Structure 1
């Protein structure tokens, strides 16, 4: 067990799970679990359901213990509604299992469930998440849970009594359970939907009678029937006992009074003879500029979309560095540049040995798993620099390599990949048209002719120093140094309010002459991208 003073939240949960495993099931593989319903886009908030147990399971594996991360696809859940943008005729499938609903129009997948599972499966592979996938459709329809279903039906009054503790009458008093409660809902044999009502059940013969809203009805032997499922508040604790789950997080919505997590603690012990897993509540994940995410609203970024604009270790880091109870945001706008600056700074601190323990743990969990390191960019040029370059060059690889050679001494673009490709994708998909950088073709002669002698001298100093300072650091020194020279100050003089004002005015003039607006990418990067000869032409030098 690790020293808690020198650990992160992942290590602390791993300690707790390992201790609990020694009490509950010594010598057996430790089971961590996640559950996702592929009813729609599985977004970046849902990813926390997977990343939290993944990080804990991976830490347990790092310690040399056998640990399984189960990912239950709740693909036997009912299709609840037709999302906006889908042919309204899909309403005929409402109530069917997700695996029985056709995929959205144009999809290559065989069902609604497979369509929404596929992008997450690809994303988890890229993120290095090792798991064992379980289809609840396969589990239920193959009869795997038959004994658990029969047990739940025998104990239906006990289950109803547990649920009744959380039901209230109008006067606030607890409401007693009903003898007519049934924890199993069949899918109709005729229409395949769950618009069914169980009308009778015999414990001895296991004969179950039901009617459906479609008009169909029948009597089946539940000991042989595999076209239905336990209701969610019974299904979840049943699986805890069946799988021997020791760790499974859940969202805030599962922790309110009467929720599946709360009642599940009693049902798993009183009915199925198991114990509730260690289960931290996790907070929501947001997107910069967006409110709390909900997959029902549509248009919410999914993990594969985040991985188009950021490298897998960076996305892993966002989930590893925050406790599950802490909410955080993922940047799809220009904040991604600041995020990458922070990521690179942490990497340098870890490399130099100056990082705090929590920083080192989170960084290590981001860049590798127990199976080995994740792919990394050989020469991690700052993301904001790459974004500026591909914006200015409109993705021209020859020009991009020229600039990167001048800026960082790269000899091939592959040295900057995959980060370069992520920055290119960000520019292509996230940068608004009005934010794109377009270098002027010809000098703004009207502006140049209107300048006073101070501005003309500043431009001459800049143009004359380009060749000598032609590197990212050198050009940084030059653009900040020109106003200092004009003020009679040394190059290393500290900035005064007056000097800062002069620098801002000089920068705005350069931006206007180069790209026609008074702000833009970092000036040193912009100058490198434009090229010395063209800069001199545009600034009248």
Structure 2
């Protein structure tokens, strides 16, 4: 495994704090960190920060030899709140299930899973395995329906007046209004604005709805319609006899001490679980930083009511997507970790989360920016291997390429992503053509099998096919543009001749790179290695445009050296008029 450095590393600093706090609260016991995910729809890349922040901290604690548990609570007993947009296999009839637990809602048509929650959990579970995230999953449906929290529920109900008084301190508080943008002021970044707006989780019902018994922190699911559209109309503290009325008209009386078809309201449920599980560290999203939010209120409830302590942990900021607005599972079309892993290797995705402090927003690229990100990653890899990287960068790199259990599977020969994407673009996935082109990149070390460049090649092919519009794809001319060739000026003809004459002796990626940049220099009477001037750069650009027009019929395209290799010497000569 790569040598690690923890200097100037946010993960190490948080790990120090968590270990110290765990030794204070629960000496000799495993360190407990936690995440919570609601499978109410596609679990997107913003939700992944809820997992990656504690994962990275937990992994650092493991590296130091401590036992640690990373709990991921699947909030699959939450109510189905709305029909999310953009989900295939559903229609407006799914609105009939609003109010039911997520595990009681049918999965989208064609799903291999028994219910809505399991369908969306499965996608995340697969992505977490690929990312090397080690965790203990907890289904809240299983916990509640098995009676695991029965005593905690009874305790909360006995202390409902105390909970109500705590909640009441926050009910009238509103977030401060956003200041108006001043003339000439830089516009607020979309990611920052979205981070301020939050996800809406802080608006969850706190149990204060009108009812026959006043405030009640527990919601039964109706035995008749299966929904939580219920109001507790009577409760006896001695017998725990509870009567509820559902909006569907059903009335039922049960004994809460024996009843397992309901749950605590979220603002009570969360602090209950902190105490029940002994959570030391759990980050929270920006929507939990406002007055009255679940995290803020939970911190006031957990001690007085449940005898526990609020976890320590940072607020984490928004994760955006290049070219997209704020992510929301209910709006549809939001990229998931699985979507990202189809176009990038796990190491790159881990690095994006590891290199930024939790309170820093960042974007994940699904557009052309992914090529620059990969260039940056490859440059960091070289610096780490050469010993020239900064300590913080070394630490982030080490956390990206592996975990305490070992390194993640990696591409044996990681050729530049932009090169692989260009080749995939030109060959349209033809493996024989792809191998020929990639083998010619470096004649001194020819590629013998495409397995050497996988899985990075597969990711690049997926990106080209899924995220590059058809009108931006590269199509090499089938026949020479004879009209354009006939109209060539003297300098243009001379440039093309210099290029064609040098193809054979420069037929490699580095060689062709030197050749295409040298032609305009030689035409200007300079040495091939002369330093470029502004005038020379203009001449080079004009020459490149000419080549693109003759080869692909546009004024831009993949990097020319890659394009020339892909087209092949014979076809290049023909399209440039050498055989006409």
Could you say whether these structures have the same fold, taking a TM-score greater than 0.5 normalized by the shorter chain as the test? yes
- Name the CA shift for 1:109/1:169 in 2 (closer, same or farther; >3 Å): closer
Equivalent residue for 1:415?
452
SS at match of 1:152: helix
Equivalent residue for 2:558?
521
Please give the per-residue CA displacement for 1:209-261, whole angstroms capped at 9, x wherever unaligned: 11111111111111100000000000000000000000101110111101111
Equivalent residue for 1:470?
507
Mapping for residues 151-166 of structure 1, pairs under 5 Å: 151-166=155-170
Equivalent residue for 1:449?
486
Equivalent residue for 2:136?
132
Q: Kindly indicate whether residue 474 of structure 2 is the aligned counterpart of residue 437 of structure 1.
A: yes
Retained in 2: the 8 A contact 1:475–1:524?
A: yes
Q: Kindly indicate whether residue 220 of structure 2 is the aligned counterpart of residue 220 of structure 1.
A: no
Q: Kindly indicate whether residue 145 of structure 2 is the aligned counterpart of residue 141 of structure 1.
A: yes
> How far apart, CA to CA, are the structure 2 residues paired with 1:17 and 1:169?
31
Mapping for residues 238-317 of structure 1, pairs under 5 Å: 238-317=272-351
SS at match of 2:554: coil
SS at match of 2:46: coil
Retained in 2: the 8 A contact 1:287–1:329?
A: yes
Structure 2 segments unaligned to the other structure (5+ residues): 175-207
Please give the per-residue CA displacement for 1:186-212, whole angstroms capped at 9, x wherever unaligned: 001111110000112111111111111
Aligned counterpart for 1:511 among listed residues 538, 548, 565: 548
Q: CA deviation at 1:5?
A: 8.2
Q: CA deviation at 1:169?
A: 9.3
Retained in 2: the 8 A contact 1:38–1:74?
A: yes
Retained in 1: the 8 A contact 2:6–2:12?
A: no
Q: Kindly indicate whether residue 47 of structure 2 is the aligned counterpart of residue 10 of structure 1.
A: no
> How far apart, CA to CA, are the structure 2 residues paired with 1:167 and 1:391?
56
Equivalent residue for 1:334?
368
Retained in 2: the 8 A contact 1:4–1:12?
A: no
- Name the CA shift for 1:16/1:4 in 2 (closer, same or farther; >3 Å): farther
- Name the CA shift for 1:78/1:270 in 2 (closer, same or farther; >3 Å): same
Equivalent residue for 1:378?
412
Please give the per-residue CA displacement for 1:426-470, whole angstroms capped at 9, x wherever unaligned: 111111111111111111111111111111010000000000001
Aligned counterpart for 2:396 among listed residues 362, 386, 398: 362
Q: Kindly indicate whether residue 269 of structure 2 is the aligned counterpart of residue 232 of structure 1.
A: no
> How far apart, CA to CA, are the structure 2 residues paired with 1:298 and 1:345?
35
Please give the per-residue CA displacement for 1:400-442, whole angstroms capped at 9, x wherever unaligned: 1111111032111111000000001111111111111111111
Q: CA deviation at 1:105?
A: 1.7
Q: CA deviation at 1:87?
A: 2.1
Retained in 1: the 8 A contact 2:274–2:311?
A: yes
Aligned counterpart for 1:150 among listed residues 138, 154, 157: 154
Retained in 2: the 8 A contact 1:285–1:328?
A: yes
Q: CA deviation at 1:92?
A: 1.9
Equivalent residue for 1:66?
67
Higher relative contact order (Cα pairs below 8 Å, separated by 6+ residues): 2
Retained in 1: the 8 A contact 2:82–2:330?
A: no
Q: CA deviation at 1:83?
A: 2.7
> How far apart, CA to CA, are the structure 2 residues paired with 1:495 and 1:121?
52
Q: Kindly indicate whether residue 33 of structure 2 is the aligned counterpart of residue 29 of structure 1.
A: no
SS at match of 1:32: strand
CA RMSD between the two structures: 1.6
Retained in 1: the 8 A contact 2:271–2:310?
A: yes
> How far apart, CA to CA, are the structure 2 residues paired with 1:266 and 1:83?
33
Equivalent residue for 2:57?
56
SS at match of 1:297: coil
Instruction: Judge which range, 390-399 or 455-464, deviates more.
Output: 390-399
> How far apart, CA to CA, are the structure 2 residues paired with 1:201 and 1:291?
46
